[in-house]
Amino acid sequence: MAREFTLPDVGEGVAEGELVRWLVDEGDTVTEDQPVAEVETDKAQVEVPAPVDGTVQELHWAEGDVVPVGDLFVTFDVDGEASATADDGDESGDEAASATSEASGRTFAPPSVRTLARELGVDLDSVEGSGPSGRITDGDVRAAAEGGEDTTEPATESTSATERVDEDDTAASAGSQEPAGREKTLAAPATRGVARELGVDINDVPAVEQRDGEAFVTAEAVQAYAEGGQAAQGEAGGAATREFVAGGETTEPYRGIRRTIGEQMAESKYTAPHVTHHDTAVIDSLVETRSKLKARAEAEDVKLTYMPFVMKAVVAALKEFPVLNSELREDDEEIALKQDYNIGVAVATDAGLMVPVVEHVDQKSMLEISTEMNDLVEQARERSIAPADMDGGTFTITNFGAIGGEYATPIINYPETAILGLGAIDERPVAEDGDVRAAQTLPLSLSIDHRVIDGAEAAQFTNRVMEYLTDPELLLLE
């Protein structure tokens, strides 16, 4: 029996998700809880599991589509349910038989082929698949579009939706190279790519066919139009001119995690008045301490970076200056001073900046912080992190120095009220007691919400963080 499966709420109240890729094909056998697709929401990328044991009957969306939660996602053919349903009565038995009949006559084609068929105006029900188990391939669809012999209907019927444009009109247009100026044109994706490469507006190319009442353009027509235009320009100029090839552009979707990041950044920047305080900590002792502890940490299979030391120093300073561990609730006309110390660590990923949160940093050892942070960072970069692991932060640290650079103006992870940016650790000249020496230093950039935090408090907080980083033994007292 056919079992329809709608896209579930894969996050916390998300409305839609982008289908990144299918993990199964139509005709595949799946077991309950087996991942069938990867979907990216505005919070994270997750796997969607199969709800039943059965066979994938139909994949209803193409990769790259944005699927609303609750819409039909996959149809499964579930063994044994037809007979069970038939026992409920004649009416349900008829429904089961109908479903079985529909399943037996279904068309097997992967999402990419379905997309191509829509683009070329091909009815998949009229195409005979040449792939395994009768699966329809790209070649089958293209052959059908060109009136080939791979369609199940005679050529005259398979092309009934295609009407030839008057040959005289076409020849006249092609010869004069007058832009057609249409609003809509049907063309294969490859043809559109050729048009972009040649700098041609595909709606201006004379059409040689009509499909479903719309003009259809081939790559050859695009090429001919481009060459005709270049020849006309050469004749008009009377002299050879140098030709330049336009670079064009490529696009990528602005949605999912990337759009969420952008919206949050804009909300933060245009809601909270940012002020950034810069300073530099001399960290020779920290470098030495970390070097001593690194080998012991590795013996326990833990990679010890400088970040846990900074997190500990930040928490110690937040206890003295709690206003930086806060949230402004304008509607309630109150500033919430958080008693938890949940530190977010900004991570650069292929999808953009993500901020995993290490909770209760004040209650964990250096090795516990390192282990948890390393795990969360890896999950973020693999885009397998759970949305819950990026919620509940009270203060954020961003390490742009890992890429290079000294100072920046970090944007606050709203609704938090402060964020600390770390520059690159490096040897820099330091003046001490009238002498200049080379010292290991760490540039700091603290951005604050000036509605809540004063500049003096920002400076005092930074000074305290620097004190802990300059003399890391002080952290033993925390």
The residues annotated as belonging to the active site are 450
- Amino acid identity of residue 230, one-letter, is Q
3-state secondary structure of 318: helix
User: Quick one: tokens of 267?
Assistant: 């909300």
Task: Give the separation between CA 48 and CA 310, rounded to whole angstroms.
Answer: 37
Contact (Cβ atoms closer than 8 angstroms) between residue 207 and residue 185: yes
H-type helices in 34-176, by residue range?
A: 81-86, 90-104, 111-120, 138-145, 155-158, 167-176
CB-based contacts of 413, cutoff 8 Å, min separation 6: 264, 268, 344, 346, 355, 393, 396, 419
- SS3 state at 142: helix
**Rg, C-alpha atoms of the chain:** 31
Give SS3 for 327. Answer: strand
SS (H, E, C) 201-254: CHHHCCCCEEECCEEECCHHHHHHHHHHHHHHHHHHHCCCCCCCCCCCCCCCCC
Phi, psi of 434 (to 5 degrees): 85, -5
Cβ–Cβ under 8 Å, residues 180 and 215: yes
Q: How far apart are the first and last CA of the chain?
A: 63
- Spell out the residues 6+ positions from residue 390 whose beta carbon is closer than 8 angstroms to its own: 43, 44, 344, 354, 355, 356, 357, 380
**Sequence-ordered list of residues with C-beta below 8 angstroms from that of 22, at least 6 positions apart, any chain:** 36, 37, 59, 63, 110, 111
Residue with tokens 């949940």: 342
Q: What is the dihedral of CA 345, 346, 347, 353, to 10 degrees?
A: 150
